[in-house]
Structure 1
Amino acid sequence: MITVSACLIVKNEENVLARCLLSLKDLVDEIILVDTGSTDRTKAVGEQFGCRIFDFSWVDDFAAARNFSFDKAEMDYIYVADADEVIDEENRKRFLHLKQCILPEIEIVQMKYTNQLRFNTTYNFDTEYRPKLFKRNRRFEWQDPVHETVRLDPVIFDSDIEIIHMPEGNHSKRDFEIFQKLIKKEIPLSKKLRTMYARELFVSGEDQDFLEAEEYFASLLSEDREEEELKVIQCVLTRCGRIRHDADQILKNALKNVACKTASAEVCFDVGEYFLEKGDLQEAVIWFYNAAYETDSELNIRYSGEFPLLKLAICYRQAGDMKQSELYQELARKAAQEQVSGDE
């Protein structure tokens, strides 16, 4: 049977940490708790469960903290956990079975991360595979009988283990602060981080969060971008234009977006909102309908389902058509249910 180190980075997690550690304590062989500056009883909770506790000075870098935690691990494999995760009894049995039966060549095990949409996280699937278990020391192997090369790609196994995500709330405000600090320090954001920034804005950002991000996303237009990334930028800038009631900015970004092969649901939604705010119900209906039925979402799947359907219900109610309003209200309810219960 393999041995497993569980590695967590934590800060002020006393409300949820015991729940997580209780589900891990007899699954893993050691628990590494890296604290990044807790002012509550987080470390005391960790001590109760026999965790190996280390302090790490927070530098606005989760990757640095993760790397530090990995350096402290001593077992065969490393399991990456967050304090707001729980493994129920059925999946604890699956985890133990995996420890007993895992093949030695497997270097990464993916597990199903569940309960995403219920807590307004930045992911567009309620269940998705995530790499969770990593072989601590990788063995390099040669392959091919002639022109031999070292195998570079890791051996990955998709398990049936489900990890339940149960946060007390999302962490978007913390993330927005980190993004802004990186931008002010002129540290380039990767394409992935730029998209994640935009996604978090459309999942849980408030108007001020969008306006604080506007200058950065506008600056990205100064370089050549692929259509995929341009559409993400257009979504953000169209929303900023709507917040500021800037029709020129809405028009400039929305027209470029709808000229793409497939327009973005977020852009159509915001154009619909613009006309709804102006009281032009007929025009608003057209754009909300396009968001719901004719386009795909770029950043938040609710903008191609539940959200525009709710707005259509509002439009028809304001127009006095209660039958159509009730129809779209019901369609919105069903769309919300389907999104929360859908698989990866």
Structure 2
Amino acid sequence: MATISLCMIVKNEEQVLARCLDSVADLMDEIIIVDTGSTDRTKEVAARYTDQIYDFTWIGDFSAARNFSFSKATMEYIYAPDADEVLDAENRARFLDLKNCLLPEIEIVQMWYVTEAFNTVMNVKRELRPKLFKRLRTFTWIDPVHETVRLDPVVFDSEIEILHKPLSVHGSRDFEICERIYARDGALSPKLRKMYAKELLKCGELPDFERAEDFFTMEWEKDPMAEAGREAACVLAHLARLQGNGAELMKYALRDMLDTPCAEICYELGCYYKDSMDYDEAIVWYQNAVSETECILDVEAGGKKSLEGLVACYEALLAQAEKAELQTSSEQQKQSIEIYEQQLAVYREALADWQLPEE
């Protein structure tokens, strides 16, 4: 049976920490809690499960805190949950089975990360994430001739599902970290750049977009048609719409149209025309977002959000038609009302049925 150290970093998690540890504590051989500055009862809760509680001064760097937590581990493997994660009974059994039969050559175990509520970066209901790590890696020579050391880790994709149950989103915290890194380094890694854009589109407010404007403008100006440039265009188009700057919005949208347009830009155009009460034009762009284009950052732009826009547009058109019909009834107005009612029913049903992709 493999031995496992649980290594967790926490800050002000008194509301969820016991829920998490109750679901995994008996599966662990040691529990290590690293506190990065709690002002609530987090450490008091943690003390019910372990005496290995360490303080780590927060420096705005989750990697540094996690590296510190891993440095305290002594078992064969390290499990790295967050405090808002839970294993239910079925997945506790799967975890125990894994622990009993884990082959020593496996260096990383991935588990399904399942978010039941809103998540600021995920575009699916569940995705595989590395969660269990071999503490000390052994190196193996491979190939019978021209031999070399295997560099890629041996990864096992398990069936374990970790339930992510956050009490709130952490967008503002993440934005602050990205802003600090950009101010310090003048750049973000490709992964962090994409995550920053995703999180802005999912939960950012106008001030968040305004603080991010310089960074994404720089990315767009490097090459508007590159992956980074197109992602930046989505952020900047959204900012322009929030600011009521139609000309700026059209600049980013039209450049995106030179290549394969993305659903996010079509959604922004739909919102722009809806806000201008040009509902027929808004419908064109919302429909393009839903059925003619692909999302590059936010899957909801091509689904839930655009469907909500379509419902709002047809509700507005129906209200206008019914008002006109009361004043001057005609066969054409009756037909318009019937069409709007039919379309409204279609999109209400589509909206009710829409959900994030499974994986």
Report the TM range for the smaller structure's normalisation.
over 0.9
Distance of 1:77 and 1:144 partners within structure 2: 27
* Percent of matched pairs sharing the same residue: 50
1:285 aligns with 2:283: yes
1:335 aligns with 2:334: no
User: Please, which runs of 5 or more residues in structure 1 have no aligned partner?
Assistant: none
What is the SS of the residue equivalent to 1:92?
helix
Residue of structure 2 equivalent to 1:108: 108
What is the SS of the residue equivalent to 1:26?
helix
Q: How far did 1:322 drift? A: 2.8
Q: TM-score, normalised by structure 1?
A: 0.95
Instruction: Kindly report structure 1 stretches of 4+ aligned residues shifted beyond 6 Å.
Output: none
The C-alpha deviation readout for 1:133-176, integer Å capped at 9, x for no partner, is: 00000000101111100000000000111111011011111101
The C-alpha deviation readout for 1:271-296, integer Å capped at 9, x for no partner, is: 11111111111111111110111111
Residue of structure 2 equivalent to 1:269: 267
Distance of 2:178 and 2:155 partners within structure 1: 31
What is the SS of the residue equivalent to 1:319?
helix
Distance of 2:182 and 2:147 partners within structure 1: 44
Distance of 1:303 and 1:222 partners within structure 2: 24
Distance of 1:51 and 1:302 partners within structure 2: 44
What is the SS of the residue equivalent to 1:45?
helix
Alignment of 1:177-192 (within 5 A): 177-192=176-191
Q: How far did 1:204 drift? A: 0.9
Which letter maps to 2:71?
D
Alignment of 1:190-205 (within 5 A): 190-205=189-204
Residue of structure 2 equivalent to 1:78: 78
Alignment CA distance shift 1:183-1:110 (3 Å): same
Kept in 2, the 8 Å contact 1:141–1:151? The answer is yes
The C-alpha deviation readout for 1:111-148, integer Å capped at 9, x for no partner, is: 111125x2233111111100000000000010111110
Residue of structure 1 equivalent to 2:52: 52
Kept in 1, the 8 Å contact 2:32–2:50? The answer is no
User: Which protein has the larger Cα radius of gyration, Structure 1 or Structure 2?
Assistant: 2
Distance of 1:187 and 1:38 partners within structure 2: 31
Residue of structure 1 equivalent to 2:229: 230
Q: How far did 1:63 drift? A: 0.5
Distance of 2:212 and 2:120 partners within structure 1: 19
Distance of 2:112 and 2:58 partners within structure 1: 29
Which letter maps to 1:82?
D
Residue of structure 2 equivalent to 1:18: 18
Which letter maps to 1:202?
L
Kept in 1, the 8 Å contact 2:270–2:282? The answer is yes
Q: TM-score, normalised by structure 2?
A: 0.91
Kept in 2, the 8 Å contact 1:6–1:31? The answer is yes
Kept in 2, the 8 Å contact 1:30–1:51? The answer is no
Residue of structure 2 equivalent to 1:319: 317
Residue of structure 1 equivalent to 2:298: 300
Alignment of 1:240-259 (within 5 A): 240-259=239-258
Which letter maps to 2:345?
E
The range that moved more, 78-87 or 218-227, is 218-227
